[in-house]
Structure 1
Amino acid sequence: REGSRAVPARAPQARVSSRDRGLGLQPALLAGLERLSIGRPTAVQRLAIPALRRGRSALCAAETGSGKTLAYLLPLLERLLGRPEAAAEAAGPAAPRGLVVLPSRELAAQVGAVAAALCAPAGLAVRGLTGGGAAGGLRRQLRAPPPGPAVLLGTPGALREALRRRFLALERLRWMVLDEADSLMDESFTEMQVVVVGATFPVGLSETLAKFTDVGRFVTLGTQSLHCLPPHVQQKFVRLKGQDKLPELLQLLKERPSSGGAVLIFCNSASTVNWLSYIMDDHKIKHLRLQGQMSAAARAGIFASFQKDDVSVLVCTDLASRGLDTSNVQLVVNYDFPDTLQDYLHRAGRVGRVGSKARGAVVSFVTHRWDVDLVRKIETTHVERLKDEGYLIFL
């Protein structure tokens, strides 16, 4: 997942020019990449694009910030361009040919911006479908000039409701992507090209997929750094009592220079996000908050504002840990230590991403016995590599 300064995106900076004959992309997509100011292909893109262009269903796993968005969008859009179809009935439900399912409205908006830039030169319509409003809102989101959207990006709840109300039909669907697959599983697989994307894959994923589709036809695409902590990002673990976390955080924020980049502060619950936000208001610390219990209207635009550097501190739940472009972030603070290694990897992956100006750091407050157990697991898995680089510190 990559970030361009020009367009909020998960797609990393990676110029793919007409000289890259190995990728074999059509001129319209190359023009879209020019609009995004994308640089050379990343490892996962070089691996995935040829395989997906051949129509293979795939499990695509690579570390956060590695360019997975473009890795799946480019070859799948190429397939739509290579096989044009007759227009759908204008009066009927929207009938996209490509579908990307994402776990949050923020991620759907971000990936949608990348898809729209790629599709515009090719004349392919892109629409996003997210919930949180009345049925009329779903219908309006699906409107597009005939033959309707060629590519649809949606969250599970909104897609389910649109299908239930028959605003959406899937009979023309040629491919589907499940992005952030470990937080997104639904009994909606059909016999089409399926691409399952993620930075972490849970144990038993293949068994789960086998309930819905033939996993024997999948090709597995994975990078060498999958499930590894970013070696260039400093990991700092601070052991303290629960009552000392707030003073430690406030001191950390007050000592941070104004040029120190954006800060993500992760909490394990919406209630902690809200409480911490009130405390920061009292201390005149300008910030935003983002958590899943907020209304759709309240959430709209919050992360976009954070990406624009309007406000440099975001207090959030793990809603902000998956896939979102955080190339402006230089510090992640785990105010609450995450529950699993996978959650830690996703949070840590918010810094040191492709396109970031600084390596960044992760500071984690360790308070409970079970937190210590997870730190030991992280240490056992990654310590030798990171100590050699000088990027793992225990206090």
Structure 2
Amino acid sequence: MVLSLLSKRCLISRRIFVQGFLTSRTRMISPVASNCPFILKTNLSTTTALNLRYERTEEDEKLDSFLKETTSTDDFFADADRFPSFNSIGIESQVLLDRLENMLPSKDNFRPSAVQAASFAAISSGKDVSIGAETGSGKTLAYLLPIIDDILKRKREARNEDGSIGHLGYDYARAIILVPNKELASQVLRMASELTGGARSIIWDTNGENIMLSHDEEPMEECDIVRLGIFPGNLKSPEDYKPIRLSVNEPVDNPPLDIIIATPAALGPIGVNPKNINMFADIQTIVIDEADMLLDGGYLRPLNDVLLGFKRADKLDVSFGVVKTQHVLVAATLPDMGLKSAQAYVQRKFPYATRVTMKGMHNARHYGLKDQTIWIQDDYDEEMPKKKRMERLIEILKRSPSEATDADDREDGVGLAGEKVMIFLNSANDVDSATAALTRAGVNAVPFHAKVSLSERTENLKRFRKYDPNASIPDPDAVPVLVSTDLAARGLDISDVTSVVQLQFAGNVVSHLHRMGRCGRAGNRDGKGVVFYGGVESELVAVVRVAEDEQQTMVLEGNEIDDNESESGGKVQNAFSRKRGFTKKRKKIARKQQYDTEF
């Protein structure tokens, strides 16, 4: 039955595959680099690897102890004494270290974040890993570094005298990275390319087209290039994707992609079909980025379709040389609302996953905010609160920070003129209305939401990225204000965002945490947060404000505030739900207000 699932073509290449697969793939999941803080000494055979998920070893205990230390810090960076540089976390490839130095030229920033130090060892162990850390903590690099380091080491070891590369242990790709949408796929591609060889490493771009290398690029050895590709949608089989078709059918002249970036919507149809088991048996690591988002709503079914492909492959007989797929789940929030929550799903599906959970995860106030959030409440007697909010916002955007400092009598004593600002609202229509109002008032702003075409969204995001608040002469094409729904609240890493404004309060605490995490990223503590609120939001805001003041950790479960608690506003952990917490609470308050009025 198993043999019937494998094509004759794949069985022919499998002979070559099996010879190199066990050594190459075992090397990935065996000892961490010699300069890592601790060394896993187990030589993981296929059988041992299969049992690792069920039998704890001495190496597991060492890893747990290591993670307990590295994840307990409140700081963005890992401990400077233990991890003074990136090679101290276990990176062996000098090429990768050099590229990191070019990517992070600042000496102050050229050392690993806490989540990167912890994750490198966990991912290099080869076991399933769940990474939880607040937004802006460096999670994308945390999962990219161990994978790219492994690929570059393999290529160095497989290099032939003529410069060509021998078999690397995979025919399709070393790893797949799943992200929710095309914007995030493009972002991961852009970040990865800085570590994989630049434009020449991008074999297939976001538009589903080949990248033509420019002739003025400096020569680079093939073993130093990590090949990247974005998997397009509407394909029926892996071989409909040209890079895979060439690498499988004409492997001599076409080395395989090393990392594939995909969305569940694009890859799900491939996973459902059992005929595609070859690819899923070949992929060694799948990274599920923004895991809580993919484990919810419309994303869950296509994600399960992808995971089904790997589940089938993991059931293949070990004689095929197939080691169980490594799953790496990455999230800034993992809400727990019971048996169907994202956290419960992860625990149920991956009970033996190594947990890398940073201390700052779910903190009420984001690490990167310089000062306390500024809360601006609607006037109770205001008949048109939306109009008043907009007037206040325009005034804030036109007021300089120095003017705001001197205006102690202002309730909204903040000035954002010249800053790089993201403004959040809860619907596409409200975003369009707010953008139009800002534009009429002379504020240079662009919209970003799902109803804007992909090409326009990409262009608007590009113009917003261009804006540098510290530039003496601004780029005339750059835009300082991006007005968005929560589409831009997750995953998008935009440098130098100095301020976040919630013109409408978030619909749930997960969105609130993601929104506030858009500024003050990568270890910077220069972010400003401004939140407008009023009416039925006030009681909920009171809970968040107390949590921020006390820097509490938000436990994302339950639907209601415990009204029997102290004057602090009730238990934070009972204030919010994954989806409907705010909405249900608003309805409850509205019903109570109506009852009080009538009786």
Instruction: Check if 1:79 corresponds to 2:150.
Output: yes
Question: Where does residue 171 of structure 1 map in the other structure?
Answer: 281
Question: Are 1:288 and 1:311, in contact at CA under 8 Å, matched by a contact in 2?
Answer: yes
The Cα shift of 1:364 comes to 0.7
Instruction: Show the 5 A alignment for 1:232-271.
Output: 232-240=370-378, 241-256=385-400, 260-271=418-429
Per the alignment, residue 49 of structure 1 pairs with: 120
Alignment of 1:138-217 (within 5 A): 139=241, 146-160=254-268, 169-185=279-295, 186-187=303-304, 188-189=306-307, 190=310, 191-203=324-336, 204-209=341-346, 213=349, 215-217=350-352
After superposition, the Cα gap between the structure-2 partners of 1:323 and 1:366, relative to the gap in structure 1 and judged at 3 Å, is: same
Post-superposition CA distance 1:10-38 (Å, at most 9, x none):
xx999998783442432232233133126
Q: Over alpha carbons, which structure has the higher Rg?
A: 2
Deviation, 1:361, is: 0.9
Which residue does 1:126 correspond to in 2?
228
Percent identical: 29
Letter in 2 for 1:78: D
Moved more, 100-109 or 335-344: 100-109
> What's the CA shift for 1:47?
1.1
Match of 1:375 among 525, 541, 545: 541
In structure 1, what is the equivalent of residue 173 of structure 2?
A: 96
Equivalent in the alignment of 2:251? none
2:14 corresponding residue in structure 1: none
Cα separation, partners in 2 of 1:151 and 1:261, compared to 1, 3 Å:
same
Q: Which has the higher helix share?
A: 2
CA distance in 1, matches of 2:232, 2:547: 38
Are the aligned partners of 1:17 and 1:30 in contact in 2 as well (CA < 8 Å)?
A: no
Report what 1:390 is aligned to.
Answer: none
1:313 paired to 2:473: no
Can you give the 5+ residue segments of structure 2 that lack an aligned partner in the other structure? 1-75, 156-165, 198-222, 248-253, 296-302, 311-323, 379-384, 402-415, 468-477, 553-599
CA distance in 2, matches of 1:252, 1:108: 34
Counterparts of 2:499 and 2:243, CA distance in 1: 36
Counterpart of 1:254 in structure 2: which amino acid? K
Q: Deviations over 1:305-358 (max 9, x none)?
A: 2111111110111111112223311111101110111111111111111264x6
**Higher RCO (C-alpha under 8 Å, 6+ residues apart):** 1
* Residue of structure 1 equivalent to 2:431: 273
The yes-or-no answer on 1:352 pairing with 2:485 is no
Evaluate the alpha carbon distance shift between residue 282 and residue 338 of structure 1 in structure 2; reply closer, same or farther with a 3 A threshold. same
- What residue number does 1:65 align with? 136
C-alpha change, 1:147 and 1:163, in structure 2 (3 Å) is farther
Aligned match of 1:389: none
The answer on whether the counterparts of 2:86 and 2:97 sit within 8 Å (CA) in structure 1 is no
Contact 1:260 1:330 survives alignment (8 Å): no
- Cα 1:319–1:143 change in 2 (3 A) is farther
Separation of aligned partners in 1, 2:420 and 2:495? 9
Distance 1:131 1:308 in 2: 29
Specify whether residues 385 and 40 from structure 1 end up closer, same or farther in structure 2 by C-alpha distance, changes over 3 A only: same
2:107 maps to 1:26: no
Aligned position for 1:393? none
Count of residue pairs the alignment pairs up: 364
Q: Is the 8 A contact 2:86 2:111 kept in 1?
A: no
Report if the CA contact (8 A) 1:100-1:152 is conserved.
yes
Q: 3-state DSSP class of the match of 1:333?
A: strand
CA distance in 1, matches of 2:400, 2:262: 38
Aligned position for 2:359? 224
TM-score (norm 1): 0.81
CA 281–129 in structure 1, closer or farther in 2 if over 3 Å, else same: farther
1 CA distance for matches of 2:262 and 2:518?
Answer: 23
Q: Give 5+ residue unaligned stretches, structure 1.
A: 1-11, 387-395
Whether the 8 Å CA contact 1:96–1:170 is kept in 2: the answer is: no
Q: Which has the higher strand share?
A: 1
* 2:550 paired residue number: 384
Q: How much has 1:132 moved relative to structure 2?
A: 10
